[in-house]
Amino acid sequence: MPPKDVPIKPPTATSAAPTPQNTFVPSTLAALGRPDVPATIAEGDGETIDVLGVSKALDTLALGGLAGVEDLPLPVRRRVEGLKGVHVEFTKLETQYRKELYELNRKYSELYTPIFERRAAIIAGRAEPTEEEISIGESKTLEDDPDAEPLPKGDASADADKAEEDIKGVPKFWVTALKNHLDIAELITDRDEEALAYLRDVRLEYLPSSTPGYKLSFHFTPNEFFTNDVLTKTYIYEDEVDFAGDYVYSSAEGTTINWKEDKDLTKTFEVRKQRNKNTNRTRIIKRAQSTPSFFDFFAPPAPLSIDQIESHGMTEEQLEEHENRLELDYQVGEDLKDKIIPRAIDFFTGKVLDYEGDSIMSDEEDEDEEGQWEQMSAGGL
Amino acid sequence: MPPKDVPIKPPTATSAAPTPQNTFVPSTLAALGRPDVPATIAEGDGETIDVLGVSKALDTLALGGLAGVEDLPLPVRRRVEGLKGVHVEFTKLETQYRKELYELNRKYSELYTPIFERRAAIIAGRAEPTEEEISIGESKTLEDDPDAEPLPKGDASADADKAEEDIKGVPKFWVTALKNHLDIAELITDRDEEALAYLRDVRLEYLPSSTPGYKLSFHFTPNEFFTNDVLTKTYIYEDEVDFAGDYVYSSAEGTTINWKEDKDLTKTFEVRKQRNKNTNRTRIIKRAQSTPSFFDFFAPPAPLSIDQIESHGMTEEQLEEHENRLELDYQVGEDLKDKIIPRAIDFFTGKVLDYEGDSIMSDEEDEDEEGQWEQMSAGGL
């Protein structure tokens, strides 16, 4: 066969491309856009290569050009059904694997607890770091940046002025850490930031394996915004892992926030005077309107069933928006669990921002890439 | 404080936005674009709220507006260094966790082996599925699609014609599965497809935990393209997990392919006649040129050290391209390991394409979204 140039890219699309989000209802094989698999592996010149003895088999075996498995020769179809049966055995073992993995995560989550307690105590000012902790920290700092300015030697308290001595712990630790997570930073308004300055700890707890999932607890010091000490967000997974062997987010629940008067950060209030034409008296009307806030995190969107989607008569756009909100809610939870809680100090110092996007940012962020990088550069120096 | 509308989106960027890929050399805090963290949490009206007792601390604690941790009051800086020291304790435990996780993966990889052997035997035609396997498979098919056409009842061999009876196993199983992975489909040329029709199995093996990593083995039946029976690709992880607690891809190695004459799919050959003006004799000159091929997977790009980057004098664009190639190479390996090998049957039937992008596609795919969806629609019906 004469060598020829084979372009890697297929020709440009002529029909509208599906978007990654709009596949709510599993489509049929036939309706789905498919990678280009020609119906035979013969090329233009009419030559049919007979790889496996029977060219008819080859004609029908390239699924891409056909409606599906139904068109395979019967003996092959039986084998394909058999392979599906074999795969069921695999998924049984995989479910067992997921359970062991969940237990492993739970075990380590508990092993980490004393470390996170120590961290919380230093942040809150209930404890001071030991000289050893400080010196280990300093050597890490130098590892990361050999030019880092060392802490002044000698008795620290001698140099510090009285005001500095009065500072307890590390103020604004958590709000700073959260603001260095690019997705979360986008959710935090200036007003939210004032309330989040009172956030003194964020903790993770795995649920018992009978109801797999996890709970995030946000601990606050007393503040003028709400009366709750702790706000929690609980993510529940489905009992069964999904088709890809991963836990599926089934639902999420958050604490109802007891806002103090006029302090609800998820609302804006419009105040208007209204005069009664008959009595000529004026009254004041306050109208609340929803406004986006980080604290919406505690009132997560509910997943929609296919029935609900149909009965709501939602447009594709509305569906996509709802799905994006669910995705983001889920991803923020996962990132708090897997990234921010474990390495809060690196989020606080901004060390995370020194590393490549992929290792730090959520998988979903690329979807919102434009907004993402606008955000980054808007905050640049 | 009067309520006001707080926009979620920061103002549009005025400077060029960094791209997600170009952060090879860790940047300094100051050089990095940062989410917008105002230097104080006071807003326009000059009011400074005194959340934690000392407004000076607040002024300096919003890291985003400052050069970094160095500007914090000394007592706070000491606590931050202490928190880094505490974090070292966490990373020790986390390394232990990663090791246990690796062992768990290895254990299950071995438990899966008999299932994958069985699958390989059916695909190769060395074994036929049992009636039970077929019937379990059929009930799965009906679960997924209640309208699926059932296999004809009765003795299958009675209905099948002779040609169909001669088909061994499931021809083109693996090439079809690979082509239903959208990233990999883009790498497979028409010529590659002919060679990949001989691919009869793909297997995963974890390396001993002393040198963490994994090996993918591609088993081929004898073919006219190359003499190797097995092509392998081995991914080695760094000894230490990265800053985010994940294994880091250190290097990859592939089998050298022994191409048969003129069959090298990674090359195109240009044949030219050349006449010697003195002797008037012609000779044939063959010039090989590299051409993209799936089989480049077995000659992976080498990671570049910072020294190499500097000495090569590569442009930002070249660096980015190299980094993208590394990323893709790594991601294809991960997807083969985590998705395609475990659920090859679902890739073969295209079931994976019925599900939402995120659960199936690699994390990196969004970056190449345009090409991705072009591909999908170009292959549509």
A140-162 pLDDT tens trace: 999 888 888 888 875 555 555 67
Is-contact A293 A250, C-beta < 8 A? Answer: no
The reported pLDDT for the residue numbered A137 is 95
Q: Is residue A123 part of a domain?
A: no
In a domain, B42, yes or no: no
CATH code at position B183: 3.30.1120.90
Mutate to test the interface with B, among A86, A113, A176, A326 (most CBs of B within 10 A): A86
Residue B107: CB atoms within 10 Å: 13
Residue A45 has pLDDT above 80, yes or no: no
Q: Is the pLDDT of residue A122 over 90?
A: yes
Residues of A in contact with B193 (CB under 8 A): 41
Tokens of B278: 């003195």
B57 within 8 A of B39, measured Cβ to Cβ? no
Contact between residue B136 and residue A84 where contact means Cβ atoms under 8 Å apart: yes
pLDDT band at residue A349, thresholds of 50, 70 and 90? Answer: very high
Q: Is residue B155 part of a domain?
A: no
| Residues ≥6 apart with Cβ < 8 Å to A96 | none
Q: Is residue B318 part of a domain?
A: yes
A182 contacts in chain B (CB < 8 Å): 35
Q: Judge whether A249 lies within some domain.
A: yes
Contact at CB, A118 and B78, closer than 8 angstroms: no
The larger pLDDT score, comparing residue B269 to residue A222, is at A222
Query: What is the C-alpha to C-alpha distance for residues B48 and B64, in angstroms, rounded to an integer?
Result: 18
Residue A334 belongs to domain spanning = 168-378
What confidence tens digit (pLDDT) does each residue in A67-97 have? Answer: 467 788 999 999 999 999 999 999 999 989 9
pLDDT band for position A358 (cuts 50, 70, 90): very low
Q: What is the pLDDT of residue A4?
A: 37
* Inside any domain, residue A160: no
Nearest residue of A to residue B159 by CA position? A74
A126: amino acid identity, one letter: R
What is the rounded distance in angstroms from the CA atom of residue B264 to the CA atom of residue A288?
A: 70
Sort out which chain A residues have CB atoms less than 8 A from B31's CB and list them. 381
Size of interface A-B (CB pairs under 8 A): 567
Helical residues (DSSP H) of chain B, grouped into ranges: 55-61, 74-124, 131-144, 156-159, 162-166, 173-179, 182-187, 190-196, 306-312, 316-335, 344-349, 357-360, 369-378
Are A79 and B38 a contacting pair at CB < 8 A? Answer: no
Looking at per-residue pLDDT, the higher value among A360 and B294 belongs to B294
| φ, ψ (nearest 5 deg) of residue A176 | -70, -40
Q: Does the residue A68 lie in any domain? A: no
CB contact under 8 A, A345 and B130: no
Percent over 70 (pLDDT), chain B: 72
Is the ipTM higher than 0.85? The answer is no
For the four alpha carbons of B130, B136, B139 and B140, in that order, the dihedral sign comes to negative
Residue A22 inside a domain? The answer is no
Binned at pLDDT 50, 70 and 90, residue A55 comes out as very low
| B chain contacts of residue A378, beta-carbon cutoff 8 Å | 10-14, 36
> Per the CB < 8 Å rule, is B129 touching A327?
no
Number of domains in chain B: 1
pLDDT per position as a tens digit, B299-338: 998 877 777 777 777 788 888 888 899 999 999 999 999 9
Rg of chain B on CA atoms, in Å:
29
Greater confidence, B335 or B160? B335
For residue B92, give the chain A residue with the closest CA. Answer: A112
Give the separation between CA A379 and CA B323, rounded to whole angstroms: 26
